[in-house]
A and B are shown apart, each in its own frame.
Chain A
Amino acid sequence: MTSVSAQYYDGNNTRRHAVTLTFAQGWLQVRGEEISRDESLNTASISEKLGSAPRLIHFNDGAHCEISDHASLETLLTEAGHQPLSLVSRMESHWRVALASLLLLLAGAVAAYLWGLPRVAELAAQRIPYSTAHQIDEQALQTFDHGLMQPSKLPITRQQQLQQEFEKLRRGYSLPEYPLQFRASPEIGANAFALPGGTIVITDEIILLAKSDEEILAVLAHELGHVSERHALRNLLQGSIVALALTWYVGDISNLLATAPTLLLQARYTRNFERSADAFAAHMLQAKGMDAAKLATLLDRLETSHRGKNRKGSKLDEWLELLSSHPATEERVKNIRQIKPE
Chain B
Amino acid sequence: MHTEGLNIRFTGKGGEYFRIWIVNLLLTVLTLGIYSAWAKVRRMQYFHRNTWLNESNFDYHGTPIAILKGRLIAIGMFAAYNVMINFKPLIGLAILLVIAIVMPFLLVKSFRFRLYNTSYRGLRFGFTGSFKGAYLNFLLLPVASLFTLYLLAPFTHRQIKAYQHNNSRFGQTAFSFDAGAGQFYLIYFLTFLWFLLAGALLGVGAYFIFNHAIVEAAQENNRQMFMYIGIGVYLLFIIAMLLLVPYFTSRIQNLVWNNTRLGMHEFESNLGAMKLFWISISNFLLIIFTLGLFKPFADVRMARYRLQSIRMMPAGDMDTFLAASKQDDGAMGSETAEMFDIDIAL
Contacts and interface: CB of A to CB of B under 8 A. Distances in A.
Contacts of B42: 48, 50, 88
B18 A323 contact: no
Interface string B209-241: 000000000001111100110000010011001
Interface stretch (A11-19, A35-43, A221-229): A11-19
Contacts of A260: 234
A135 interface: yes
A320 B49 contact: no
A98 B318 CA distance: 40
A54 B57 contact: yes
B275 interface: no
B22 A254 contact: no
Contacts of A10: 122
B78 to A, nearest CB: 10
B45 A53 contact: yes
Count class of interface residues, chain A: 35 or more
Contacts of A159: none
Contacts of B25: 101, 105
A7 B56 contact: yes
Contacts of A105: 22, 25-26, 29
A98 B18 contact: yes
A300 interface: no
A66 B56 CA distance: 9
Given A12-B323, A14-B321, A254-B238, A91 B87 contact: no
Contacts of B17: 51
Contacts of A139: 86-87, 89
A249 interface: yes
Nearest to B82: A240
Contacts of B82: 240
B20 interface: yes
B205 to A, nearest CB: 19
A108 interface: yes
B237 A256 contact: yes
A189 B221 CA distance: 9
A13 B123 contact: yes
Contacts of B26: 101, 104-105
Interface in B172-187: none
A52 B20 contact: no
A91 B223 CA distance: 50
Interface string B83-94: 000111100000
B138 interface: no
A88 B22 CA distance: 11
A120 to B, nearest CB: 13
A9 interface: yes
B35 to A, nearest CB: 10
A329 interface: no
Given A66-B57, A317-B224, A14 B20 contact: no
Contacts of A156: none
A227 B227 CA distance: 28
A136 interface: yes
B319 A14 contact: yes
A94 to B, nearest CB: 7
A14 B220 contact: no
Nearest to A99: B22
B108 to A, nearest CB: 23
B333 to A, nearest CB: 10
Contacts of A320: 224, 227-228
A11 B323 contact: yes
A64 interface: yes
B292 A250 contact: yes
B193 interface: no
Given A98-B18, A250-B292, A53 B238 contact: no
21 contacts: A13-B171, A14-B321, A16-B319, A47-B45, A51-B12, A51-B16, A51-B46, A52-B16, A62-B122, A66-B56, A92-B20, A92-B24, A98-B23, A102-B22, A249-B292, A253-B295, A254-B238, A254-B241, A256-B234, A307-B220, A307-B222
